[in-house]
Amino acid sequence: MTTATATVPAIAIDRVSKTYGATKALQDVSVSILPGQVHGLIGRNGAGKSTLLRMITGLETPDTGSLSFFGEEAPAAADAKGWQQRVACVYQRPSVFTNLTIAENLFAGRLPGSGPKISWRTMQSEAERILSEWRIDLDPRSLLSDAPIEERQMLTIAKALDAGTRIVLLDEPTVQLEGSAIRRLFDKVQELQEAGVTFVFVSHFLREVTAICDSASVLRDGKLLWSRTGDDVRSDDLVDALLAGQEQRRHRVETAAASGVTPALELRGATEKTGAFTDVNLRVAPGELVAIGGVGGSGKYSVGEAIAGLRRLGSGAVVVNGDEVASGKVKASQKAGIGFVPADRHKDGYVPQLSVAENMTMGVMDRLAPAGFFSPRKQTEMSVKLIDDVALVPPNPKLAVQGLSGGNQQKVVLARALARDPRVLVLISPTAGVDIAAKDAIYALILRALADGVAVVLISDDVEELLVSSRVLIMREGRVAAELADPTEEDIVRAIEGLE
């Protein structure tokens, strides 16, 4: 890039600060990103990444400092259209109007036609054009809510670029995607980058950052640690920047099923009522860890949800400690001692307006009111211990969970599952969105639960996470297709993709 125009940054962030109450979320942060760059934005949970993205999308205004795009001052805060024309953001869970059809969503805010008259036919044919350009195999008349997350993310990008946006922000977009969807997203990012589109990419997966980013910035405690371009972005430096002197550990839990012991958890020929999985058999001894992997739609999440009582079985049974658990009843599962961390923590994991303490102790209110009187002191005591267990930042039981960073919200969900002293723990991607140092804390916690005799089922899309277990089941099309003992990363990838 030697032309003069290329040196004008697509995004210039100039000395931006933002404070929430006592938290300095951003302090004097300056970053410039050139057109056509894919800029990685990394940092520990709570470092300020999402806050910075909210400033760049115009969702919030900096307390001090300013932003400009392609050399022009950012639009006024109230000019929503102006912001939308410049910047689009893709989240883990795309925030689209899900009760609209795909065509309506693509043109929400810019309906074709003149005056009050909307040309539905134009909208339909334009939507078809965009879908085919993006090779998205969906009917424009179908409801957006029926589309998988990956397609909704693609649609968000397609819609923005079609409207002329040249800057796309990606806030942990891969957390809920599986391998092939991630590859597809990255291919698209690279293709668009070549066409001059600028990206900011937030991820805790450093491999992803080094794979697609040509420049990066690191935030620590709201401050910019460094910003680099080209070959200066090395994965070792990223790890150093994130760990800040702490040592990175490899996790591998060797647990063996003790023979002759009643399994803590058993699935006997379990078949989900609507066919999400078929004839699944599984025995997990007390203190044993079993991981389950598989592509999206393989049924692995549904197995976890069925154990937790969120799905009904058509035949077969979930058995805890020798006793059959009534299927499809969350209460019955909890009573049997099953703790659960769901895949969609935003939907099923916590109540955003309630405090950390209230969320963490939600399932144990009976224990907080021993003589029929609720004890706030007991609630605080218990939550302080759980906050310490999961290394929550900030360690304040009174904060509303909606004010926590994404990774810390995830820790609250895990703490809630642990609060009941479960006998069986079912964890879906428990470290998704959690930074590498906090991952250590969470794995240490799982280890402690195992040492206490809890049976743990770990369901994940992340191969690295599956590798934590020495026993890994792989599901394909609703069935257990392979059981791997002490697998390597390659063994797991091959089994997931169905290459024997």
Residue ranges in contact with ligand ATP by CB under 6 A: 20, 23, 25, 43, 45-51, 403-408
Classify residue 366 by burial, with Cβ atoms within 10 Å: 0-12, 13-18, 19+: exposed
Helix axes 489-497, 179-194, angle to 10 degrees: 90
Other Cβ atoms closer than 10 A to 196: 11
DSSP alpha helix (H) spans, 393-475 = 406-419, 436-451, 463-466
Nearer to ligand ATP, 131 or 412 (CB): 412
Binding partner at 263 among Mg ion, ligand ATP, none, C-beta below 5 to 8 Å by kind? none
The conformational region for residue 66 under phi > 0 = left, psi -120 to 50 = alpha, else beta, is beta
Residue 22 beta carbon to ligand ATP: minimum distance, rounded to whole angstroms: 9
β-bridge pairing 338-341 and 323-325: unpaired
- Give the chain's radius of gyration (CA, Å): 24
Q: Where are the alpha helices (DSSP H) in 272-423?
A: 300-307, 330-335, 356-360, 365-368, 376-390, 406-419
Residues 10, 81: Cα–Cα separation, whole Å: 18
Partner from Mg ion, ligand ATP, none contacting 342, C-beta within 5 to 8 A by type: none
Shortest approach of ligand ATP to residue 207 CB, angstroms?
17
Nearest to Mg ion of 37, 50 (CB atom)? 50
Query: Closest separation between CB of residue 86 and ligand ATP, Å?
Result: 21
Cβ contacts of 37 within 8 Å, gap of 6 or more: 10, 193, 198, 199, 214, 215, 229
Residue 185 site contact among ligand ATP, Mg ion, none (CB < 5 to 8 Å, cut-off depends on kind): none
**Closest distance to ligand ATP from the beta carbon of 25 (Å):** 3
Comparison of 302 and 405: residue with beta carbon closer to ligand ATP: 405
Closer to ligand ATP at the Cβ: 63 or 146? 63
Identity of the residue, 43 or 263, whose beta carbon is nearer to ligand ATP in the bound complex: 43
**Closest distance between Mg ion and the C-beta of residue 406, in Å?**
4
Residue 60 or 381: the one with the smaller Cβ distance to ligand ATP is: 60
Cα–Cα nearest to 210, from 187, 246, 189, 238:
238
Q: Which does 23 bind (CB under 5 to 8 A by kind): ligand ATP, Mg ion, none?
A: ligand ATP
Partner from Mg ion, ligand ATP, none contacting 20, C-beta within 5 to 8 A by type: ligand ATP
The residue to which tokens 């205004």 are assigned? 61
Distance of alpha carbon 405 from alpha carbon 26, whole angstroms:
13
Query: Which helix or strand (DSSP H or E) is residue 290 part of?
Result: strand 289-293
Shortest Cβ distance from residue 436 to Mg ion (Å)? 15
Ramachandran angles phi, psi of 40, nearest 5°: -80, 135
Count residues near Mg ion (CB under 5 A): 2
Name which of 176 and 405 has its Cβ closer to ligand ATP.
Answer: 405
Nearest distance from C-beta of residue 405 to ligand ATP, angstroms: 3
Q: Which is nearer to ligand ATP, 213 or 284 (CB)?
A: 213
Give dist(CA 244, CA 154) in Å, integer.
35
Cβ of residue 384: shortest distance to ligand ATP, in angstroms? 18
278 binds, among Mg ion, ligand ATP, none (CB under 5 to 8 A by kind): none
Structure-token pair, residue 283: 């025995």
What is the number of the residue whose Cβ is closest to Mg ion?
A: 50
Whichever of 47 and 185 has its CB closer to ligand ATP, that residue is: 47
Closest C-alpha among 464, 447, 386 to residue 205? 464
User: At 270, which amino acid appears?
Assistant: A
Site map (CB under 5 A) of Mg ion, residues 392-421, x = contact: --------------x---------------
Which residue's CB is nearer to ligand ATP, number 255 or number 409?
409
Please select the residue that binds Mg ion; options are 37, 50, 193, 431, rule is CB under 5 A. Answer: 50
Partner in contact with 34, chosen from ligand ATP, Mg ion, none, beta carbon below 5 to 8 Å by kind: none
Check residue 174 for interaction with Mg ion (CB under 5 A): no
Closest CA relative to residue 434, chosen from 402, 394, 392, 400: 392
- For the packed helices 436-451 and 406-419, what is the interaxial angle rounded to 10 degrees? 10
Residue 429, binding choice from Mg ion, ligand ATP, none, Cβ under 5 to 8 Å by partner class: none
Shortest distance in whole angstroms from residue 204 CB to ligand ATP: 6
Residues that bind Mg ion (CB under 5 A): 50, 406
